Amino acid sequence: MSSGSYFPPPVKAVEIPKKNGGVRILGIPTVSDRIAQMTVKLYFEPMVEPIFHSDSYGYRPGKSAIDAVRVTRTRCWRHDWVLEFDIKGLFDNIDHGLLMKYLALFVLLKPDSRLTAHLSAKMMKNS
């Protein structure tokens, strides 16, 4: 990866049935790509971790869903209202161009800007 010669292969697209009768596409990476993803995570995570909000719990080191529930329970006793929302299809509907543009601006300030090439992969239809 450090030489710039590794490029992620397409992930295998697998259809997962939904309760409502639809399907969700799940991308299955190769073993070598999972190793590359972990390498990128270990390198990249310490750079971006400080910019996350302290109340962000998803996929954060040292934070869990149980932590989020504990904080929510504590706050529910202080307020007489609750705000709940779910962003349906967030990763399907997020503007990936804008996301990658922001990420590239952040990463360009760091020693290695090649990380952005590993954050998107092609899908290979299951045949």
* Spatial CB neighbours of 34, under 8 Å, sequence gap ≥ 6: none
Q: What is the pLDDT of residue 119?
A: 62
The confidence score (pLDDT) of residue 53 equals 86
pLDDT score for 6? 78
Predicted pLDDT at 77: 82
Cβ-based burial of 85 (10 A; exposed 0-12, middle 13-18, buried ≥19): exposed
pLDDT at 40: 80
**Percentages (nearest 5) of helix, strand, coil residues in the chain:** 45, 15, 45
Output the pLDDT for position 8. 79
Contacts of 63 (CB under 8 A, 6+ apart): 56, 57
Q: What is the rounded distance in angstroms from the CA atom of residue 58 to the CA atom of residue 12? A: 25
Each of the 127 residues of the chain gets a pLDDT tens digit; together they read: 667 777 778 888 999 998 888 888 888 888 988 888 888 888 878 888 888 888 888 888 999 989 988 988 888 888 777 777 766 777 777 887 787 777 777 665 554 555 555 666 677 776 5
pLDDT of residue 127: 54
Q: Given strand 123-125, what is the order of strands in its sheet?
A: 23-28, 11-17, 123-125
